[in-house]
Amino acid sequence: MNLSIVVPLFNEEESLVELYNWVGGVITPLGLSYEVIFIDDGSNDTSWQVIEKLSAEHKEVKGIKFRRNYGKSAALYSGFEAAEGEVVITMDADLQDNPDELPELYRMIKDEGYDLVSGWKKKRHDPLGKTIPSKLFNRTARYISGIKLHDFNCGLKAYRKEVIKSVEVYGEMHRYIPILAKRSGFDKIGEKVVIHRERQYGVSKFGIERFLKGFLDLMSVSFISKFGKRPMHLFGSLGTLMFTVGFFSALYLGAHKLYSVYNHINEARVTESPYFFIALTSMIIGTQLFLAGFLAELVSRNSPERNRYQIEKRVN
């Protein structure tokens, strides 16, 4: 199969038929074999009934329904598992993603050899309450990840099949699939300016809290990417630094006191100095960080993933 289109959704009954007809009208003239996988993330409207009807009428339509709302990452994970196409494209169900972009995204993967192409909603039809935090979020993600994308949050993305079968999307990590892909060795990541349409039906399912969660998830994925298999490198280094600073600070205080006693200089006791307690606290924190790294290393060594690597090719 040439193309799989994965569409996560929650309460989007009004737009599903229009979306499928639009996708079919764009893809069918290209002569590509394709499938559209709708993942109903616990909708409480008639979205699933619409999907069942579409599936009965069109062999290209497949559906997955969750018992409750698990979130977009869970929906994408299930859609990726079910996808069979050589190229996989994700898009939202609210018609804000334009299906007319699909042929070019497919071409960039197949002909230009990209592992992943992310959409960039350069002109957005969203209120300032969403666009300003989004710009700040994307700037931070670019800086931390080193991936030069303008819109990590765009739902319109295209992947080689090998990419989506190699990454595990969980929690709220759907925003960071490019980072997860790069971590797995897929570093040919491109970007395409896409048309962002105004919402036709319903209301947005995301609030301002997603940006807070997004920053926390960014910290998590950055840490896992850099230190997931070698936590001692981080905690051990920080612990050693903290302990060393505290130790030499305490040593200096002790030496200064001995010098004062030897030269009959009236000085307060070492334990009366606030710097003594700062040095002592630094040594304690350093020891705790080192032990945390040691324990994390033990956990990592016993993980079944510790020697699992992305192998591209073999020859015998």
- Ramachandran angles phi, psi of 28, nearest 5°: -55, -45
pLDDT at residue 197 in the model:
80
- Spans in the chain with pLDDT lower than 70: 125-130, 201-218, 221-229, 300-316
pLDDT at residue 125 in the model:
63
197 and 96 Cβ atoms separated by less than 8 Å: yes
- List, for residues 240-261, the tens digit of each pLDDT value: 999 999 999 999 988 888 888 8
pLDDT at residue 168 in the model:
80
pLDDT at residue 314 in the model:
57
228 and 257 Cβ atoms separated by less than 8 Å: no
- List, for residues 159-182, the tens digit of each pLDDT value: 999 999 988 887 777 888 888 888
pTM over 0.95: no
Q: Sign of torsion, CA 153 156 158 161?
A: positive
157 and 119 Cβ atoms separated by less than 8 Å: yes
pLDDT at residue 309 in the model:
47
For the record, the structure tokens of 157 come out as 């993305």
pLDDT at residue 211 in the model:
59
